[in-house]
Amino acid sequence: MPELPEVETIVRDLNKKTVGWTIVDFWTDWKKSIKMPLAKFKREVIGEKIEKVKRRGKNILIFLSGDKVLLVHLKMTGHLLFKDKKASKKYFSERVNQYIRHIWTLKKEKEEVGLEFSDLRKFGKIRLIKKSDLETDPDLIKLGVEPLTKDFSVEFFWKLTRNKKKKNIKMLIMDQDLLAGVGNIYASEALFESGINPQREAGDLSKKEVIKLHGAIVDILKKAVKLRGTSDSDYRDLSGAPGKFQKVLKVYNREGEKCPGCKGKVERVKIGQRSTFWCKGCQR
């Protein structure tokens, strides 16, 4: 599933490419993704102009004219593709970009382009909400602190580990109600970077370890955004290109490979039904 860096990459690209364009048509072959009757959805979005795009957790928020916000959640295998006359055809023929389920046709002056939603597993979600309802929307109100904001301070994180002391530390990092946007890839990498065994309880961490883990989470997320996300599986950016962070992953999906920090090997363990990659020699 695309995590914070992947969604942030898409949002930044959408702001560069789609702001000022008007939605003139919408097509879908999978109505289940749209959480309202299709005819009503089309009436509501067609004719509206894209004003700006934001991210909240793993949600893409496309602000439209007319007091409307298009909420898109990519779920497991979804990604958006922007196709105009200038778009490179280099990546669009790749199989992972061929599972087009939805298309918004956008127009500016006389030019028309397509904003397409490729989604192999068909789990993606599309909702239309009012701007005035953003603060109370059920998909957004439950989300925790954004880890790349000042709200995610060392003191906040320290108090969180004390309040949730019996919770597994990896599951705490991945809990969207506590920390929005961090998933399996970046939780595994941050725990390795900070030398912390992912099987420990949050309350077992010392203040020094919490400070180190906090820094690792922020640094890794920033680096992943800079490298345009991780294309370990289905994720692609708006041009259909893969991210680059998978080239610098140290433990995630590296089971059996040599640990970059010692002579041991990367191991895999299930925590909360999710595969966790770690090194028992480096992580205590």
Query: What is the set of active-site residues?
Result: 2-3, 58, 274
- The radius of gyration of the chain's CA atoms, rounded to the nearest angstrom, is 20
Side-chain half-sphere of 88: how many Cα atoms within 13 Å? 8
In the structure encoding, which two tokens stand for residue 186, read together? 């970046």
Burial of 199 (0-12, 13-18, 19+ CB in 10 A): middle
Cβ–Cβ under 8 Å, residues 16 and 60: no
Q: Mark 64-78 as b/e (b = at least 16 C-beta within 10 Å).
A: beeebbbbbbbbebb
List C-alpha distances in Å: 235 to 73, 130, 169, 242: 13, 29, 26, 7
